[in-house]
Chain A
Amino acid sequence: MSDGFSVRRTFAITRRELAGYFATPVAAVFIVIFLVLQGVLTFNLGGFFDRDQADLVPFFGFLPWVFVLLVPALTMRLWAEERRLGTIELLLTLPLRQSEAVVGKFLAAWAFCAIALALTFPFWITVNLLGHPDNATIACGYVGGLLVAGAFLAIGAAASAASKNQVIAFVLALVICFIFAAASYPLVTDFISRGSPALATFARRLSVIERFQSFTRGVIEARDLIYFVTFIGFWLFLNTVVVDHRKAD
């Protein structure tokens, strides 16, 4: 193509998508359910008060699993809806690259997750009122949480491009997110190591949660950042390929 990747066009897509979340009940429903789930899990199941420690360990412990459940609900419509409405034909015949549409949509969903995550600030205020937490560690946890959301969003966006049916897109994304979340748990590693122990170590390296845990301990390492960037990049690339092949089906 004659011109390169355009950030301006990408952001035009992002703005439209993001406004779309707030023009429909999607935004309100998602944010309320996200906050309620995080609250119930952290305070009740996580024993936030009983632990008697000024940190957000239970909060961050449940966060990736809440994302596994909710992120596919957010992404299932990204491409499936465009195909159902036929607007994909309009969008992809505008003078833009398909990769710009893919990245633009992803960024909108990611920005939306960032907003939802930012609205968990009462947890942070609570823990600061009750004690003296290590706020740098908490900040690292939030950065990690945002990266986990990005990883799952990239999976969900690709799944949405693969099917016209939103239910299929949701289930597909949920299963793939779950596999990458659980890759370090005995449930998965035991199963794999029966066949090949080396593969189990590899699966552990690919685990999103394993990477996330070093963030929640207040450690941001270059290799973990590279992992997330590569992970998101891979799924967005796959997303672009799938859109290109299946757009007119």
Chain B
Amino acid sequence: MAALIEIEGLTKRFGAFTAVDHVSFTVARGEVLGFLGPNGAGKSTTMRMLAGFVTPTAGGARVCGHDVQTDAVAARQNLGFLPEGAPTYPEMTVQGFLRFVAGIRGYAGRERSERVERAIGLTTLAEARLQPIETLSKGFKRRVGLAQALLHDPPVLVLDEPTDGLDPNQKHEVRGLITRMAKEKAIVISTHILEEVDAVCSRAIIIARGRVIADATPAELAQRHPSGKLDDVFRAMTEPKALAA
């Protein structure tokens, strides 16, 4: 089966600084890809290019076969994207915000209400639906961002730190949600929580200084260190002295 996400030689330079350096990978339906790396490694920039927000210096990306640059609207219709920090409009209510996103995505009338209800249900936001987003806690705000990404039940999900700021119970719920959706979708999540990779990801990519330095299943990766722990592998591979070698 053809991959739903195809990234080829994706490169982004900001002046003399290369944030993302010839990154290539594909993600097929049913895969949950954990995107790991130290802060500033190029995770968010890669995801932004995949979502069509940042224009690549070289290379390209396709979502469900649609080029994110030349066929952007079609690519984005197939994509649910949670940007870093889960930005939302603070003065809007949860329901108002989701209705706005549903309107842009082309839903009207009953279908629009049903889509919004479904997203609210999936992310357990019912109790907060009429509250302005600015009055919500960090965990709720993150779930509003998640609800927005799930609204149109897209085949491709790109989630930048989906569990950041959630309490352990909420983290568990979101991981359960991702696992349940995994079969029909291609999902990319970035995270700093390595236990999360074990829990939900079928594959992990480690990126450092803009380059892919590992691409394997979490179990395979863990075996690369004598301790058998993903934590140790991550540290050994991404520490400055390891990268300099």
Chain A interface (Cβ < 8 Å from any Cβ of B): 1-3, 8-9, 12-13, 15-16, 19-20, 23-24, 85-87, 89-90, 92-97, 247-248
Asked whether A1 lies within 8 Å of B73 as measured between CB atoms, the reply is yes
Q: Mark B47-85, 1 if CB is under 8 A from A, else 0.
A: 010011111000000000010001111101101010111
**A2–B48 Cα gap in the complex (Å)?**
21
Q: Which of B71, B89, B105 touches A94 (beta carbons < 8 Å)?
A: B105
Count of chain A to chain B residue pairs whose CB atoms are closer than 8 Å in the complex: 85
Closest CB in chain A relative to B113 CB, distance in Å: 15
**What class of interface size applies to chain B in its complex with A?**
35 or more
Contacts A87-B89, A90-B87; is A95 near B53 (CB within 8 Å)?
no
Check if A90 sits within 8 Å of B83, measured CB to CB. Answer: yes
- Contacts A85-B87, A92-B53 supplied; 8 other A-B pairs, CB < 8 Å: A1-B74, A2-B71, A15-B103, A20-B92, A85-B89, A86-B84, A89-B48, A94-B104
- B72 proximity list for chain A (CB < 8 A): 1, 95
B91 contacts partner chain A, Cβ-Cβ < 8 Å: yes
Q: Is the CB of B85 within 8 A of A2?
A: no
With the chains together, A2 CA to B103 CA distance in Å? 19
Q: Are A86 and B73 in contact (CB under 8 A)?
A: no
Q: Once the chains bind, are A248 and B105 in contact (CB under 8 Å)?
A: no
User: Closest residue to A4 on the B side, CB-wise?
Assistant: B73
Closest to B85 in A: A86
Contact of A95 among B76, B83, B90, B145 (CB under 8 A): B76
Q: How many angstroms between the C-alpha atoms of A160 and B52 in the bound complex?
A: 22
8 Å CB interface, B152-186 against A: none
